[in-house]
Structure 1
Amino acid sequence: MEKVKEFLELDKEGAECVSRLTIPPHRVGSECSFYEDFALRGIRVDRVESGFVSCSFKVPPRLTDRSGNLATGAIANLVDEVGGAVVHIEGLPMNVSVDMSISFLGTAKLNDELEITSKVLGRRGGYAGTIVLVRNKETGELIAEGRHSLFGKQASKL
């Protein structure tokens, strides 16, 4: 436990950096939130069809681990966001993630261009399942495959 505490402890420079951060509360309808700016900046939507979304993403330094690879948490975030986008219905609140399963099959390096595709596997009531594939756009290598289950309000049938 002590090793973990030491690892997470900030040095003087890091502590000063964190103390200078200003994160104003997010107001709906205003500029991007801290989360959107940090984690989602750079995702470009390339194609949207019924039950299918394709996006591009260039791996930025802020989302890499110490080895220079796209962090697994960032990949999980991409699976969550793009998997949720494919089942979102305009005018209804975003769906809530119920379950995610991700197979990490490769690595993406800083500045690699990724293609993220999501497809609806099925819907039943307010429940939906998606599959999300994260590929290196240049090589075609599969970086990760995610299965994502979500729950949300249904569109009115009236």
Structure 2
Amino acid sequence: MEKAKRFLKPTNEESESVARLSVPVHQIGVNSSFYEYFSLRGIRVDRVEPGFVACTFKVPPRLTDRTGKFASGAIANLVDEVGGAVIHVEGLPMNVSVDMSISYLSTARLNDELEITSRVLGQRGGYSGTIVLLRNKATGEVIAEGRHSLFRQHASKI
């Protein structure tokens, strides 16, 4: 247990970095939230077609672990966001994630450029399924594959 505590204890540099963060009050619809700014900044959308989205993302320092590898939580976040974006309809509420399954197949490092593709696997009623693939753009190596189930409640017909 002590070994785990020592591993998880932030370094002085990490503590100071967090202390310098400034988190303004978020105004919905006016500006991006801290979450969007922190985790989604840097995604470049390359192609959008019905049922398909392709993006490029360069791994930034803020989303790496202590060893300089792209953090698994950041990968899960991209699967959630890009998987949800491929089925989002402007003007309707966002879908809610019901289930995600991610296979971490390799690692990406700081400044690696990734290709992220997402496509719709199917939709039935309010449920949708998507698949998200993250590849290293330089090597073509698959970093992760995620399957994502989402739900949006349809308006009542009454």
TM-score (norm 1): 0.89
Q: Which residue of 2 aligns with 1:40?
A: 40
Q: Which residue of 1 aligns with 2:23?
A: 23
Distance 1:146 1:62 in 2: 22
Q: Which residue of 2 aligns with 1:128?
A: 128
1:95-110 paired onto structure 2 within 5 Å: 95-110=95-110
Decide which moves more: 8-17 or 122-131. 8-17
Distance 1:19 1:35 in 2: 17
Aligned residues: 157
Identical aligned residues as a percent: 74
| 1:10–1:110 Cα change, 3 Å | closer
Distance 2:53 2:124 in 1: 20
Decide which moves more: 51-60 or 145-154. 145-154
User: CA offsets, 1:128-152, max 9 Å, x none?
Assistant: 0000000011111111000000001
Aligned to 1:67, the other structure's residue is in SS state: coil
Decide which moves more: 129-138 or 147-156. 147-156
1:45-124 paired onto structure 2 within 5 Å: 45-124=45-124
TM-score (norm 2): 0.89
Amino acid at match of 2:70: L
- Extract structure 1 runs of 4+ deviating beyond 6 A: none
CA drift of 1:18 comes to 3.7
Q: Check whether the contact 1:92–1:155 (CA below 8 A) recurs between aligned residues.
A: no
User: CA offsets, 1:24-48, max 9 Å, x none?
Assistant: 2211122221111110000011111
Aligned to 1:80, the other structure's residue is in SS state: helix
Q: Check whether the contact 1:116–1:135 (CA below 8 A) recurs between aligned residues.
A: yes
